[in-house]
Amino acid sequence: MEKKHVVKQLIYGIHAVQEAIESGKEFERIYILKTEKGAALMELNGLIKEKRLPVHHVPIHKLNRLTRRDANHQGVVAFLSIIPNVTVDEIITRTFESGESPKILVLDGVTDVRNFGALSRSALAFGFHAVVVPNKGSALIHEDAVKASAGALMKIPVSKSINLSRTILEMKQFGLKIIGITEKANESISKLKIDEPFALILGNEETGLHPNSLEACDATYKIDISPQIDSLNVSVAGAIAMFVTSN
């Protein structure tokens, strides 16, 4: 029987969140009231900014939806990380030291939890060494994401980037080739042959790769499909791309 992952992730209230920050807990995301009220909440917001934690300023109804009806969230709700955050340089260094050639999946704005989970599962299946996501503008890594990945997220390292453009540059400096998958490419992925360290970048479900990521690519490829179909789901496109780059 598959082991069930049970992790307390949601916390709320000024004192509880401040205590978690001061004790060094890792955060998946923090939501704080857009219109700050009171010195304690303003002080907490300052601490969140100082620690460069992933914060979203939201209206009161968003906080109310995230908590129980009778919960006194005091204007702050947070999700603790259920998986450790690993830096890109640590992942790449460790991979090179093990005698392997790094293969990294970068998800630039994939917001659907099911897509994120499925892509993480495919990354593990095709021997990728890590998944990189931006701190903001990506799917929340919670129990549903772990379930969608069929537990893969508990096995493959995930790196949450504060600045994705800088992280991509860092991978380049390590010698990784940056490969983008986009409908705007001229070259078919069927022509792709790679025998060097690389990072594979997939974009947002609706808008594709961010212009900054697209500009940073060393090469871009498209997946040829029937003209009867507009596009593939990002998790399907990602699985195809990962299969091709792994053979």
CATH of the domain at 210: 3.40.1280.10
pLDDT band at 176 (very low <50, low <70, confident <90, very high): very high
Name the residue with tokens 């060097």. Answer: 196
In this structure, the answer to whether residues 157 and 35 fall within a common structural domain is: no
Does the pLDDT of residue 84 top 70, yes or no?
A: yes
**The tokens of 141 are what?**
């890594």
Q: What is the pLDDT of residues 107-129, one digit of tens each?
A: 999 999 999 999 999 999 999 99
50, 134: one domain: no
Confirm whether 219 is domain-assigned.
yes
Query: Amino acid identity, residue 13?
Result: G
Residues 92 and 108 in one domain: yes
- Same domain as 187, residue 225: yes
Statement to judge: residues 66 and 93 lie in one domain: no
Residue 96 is assigned to a structural domain of this protein: yes
- Please check whether residue 1 lies inside any domain of the structure: no
Is 3 a domain residue? Answer: no
What integer pLDDT is reported at residue 231 of this predicted model? 86
Number of domain units in the chain: 2
Residue 179 has pLDDT above 90, yes or no: yes
Residues 43 and 93 in one domain: no
Band the pLDDT of 9: cuts 50, 70, 90: confident
Q: Is residue 25 part of a domain?
A: yes
Say whether both 228 and 109 belong to one domain.
yes
Q: What does the alpha-carbon distance between residue 117 and residue 149 come to, in Å, rounded to a whole number?
A: 4
Residue 6 has pLDDT above 60, yes or no: no
Average pLDDT over residues 218-241: 94
User: Angle at CA 139, nearest 5°, toward 142 and 214?
Assistant: 150
2 is a domain residue: no
143 shares its domain with 43? no
Query: Is the pLDDT at 5 greater than 60, yes or no?
Result: no
**Look-up of token digits 């800088």:** 166
Q: Do 240 and 190 sit in the same domain of this protein? A: yes
The reply to whether 239 and 160 lie within a common domain is: yes
DSSP string covering 133-165? EESSSS---SHHHHHHTTTGGGTS-EEEESSHH
Residues 143 and 50 in one domain: no
Given a cut of 60, is residue 60 above it in pLDDT?
yes
Please give the Cα distance from 213 to 169 (Å, whole number). 10
Q: Answer whether 0.75 is exceeded by the pTM.
A: yes
> In this structure, is residue 187 part of a structural domain?
yes
Same domain, 181 and 239: yes
Which of 80, 96, 120 finishes a domain? 80
Q: Return the bridge partners of 214, or none.
A: none
pLDDT tens readout for residues 11-58: 999 999 999 999 988 899 999 998 877 889 889 989 998 998 989 899
> 63, 80, 97: which is the final residue of a domain?
80
In which band, very low, low, confident or very high, does the pLDDT at 7 lie, cut at 50, 70 and 90? very low
Percent of the chain with pLDDT over 70: 96
* pLDDT band, residue 8 (cuts 50/70/90): low
Question: For residue 1, what pLDDT band results from cuts at 50, 70 and 90?
Answer: very low
- Which domain-ending residue is among 58, 80, 102? 80
Question: Is residue 222 included in any domain, yes or no?
Answer: yes
Q: Quote the mean pLDDT of the chain.
A: 91
156-170 residue pLDDT tens: 999 999 999 999 999
The beta strand positions in the chain, using DSSP E, are 10-12, 27-33, 55-58, 76-80, 103-108, 130-134, 158-161, 177-181, 198-203, 219-221
CATH classification of the domain holding 36: 3.30.1330.30
* Domain region containing 235: 88-245
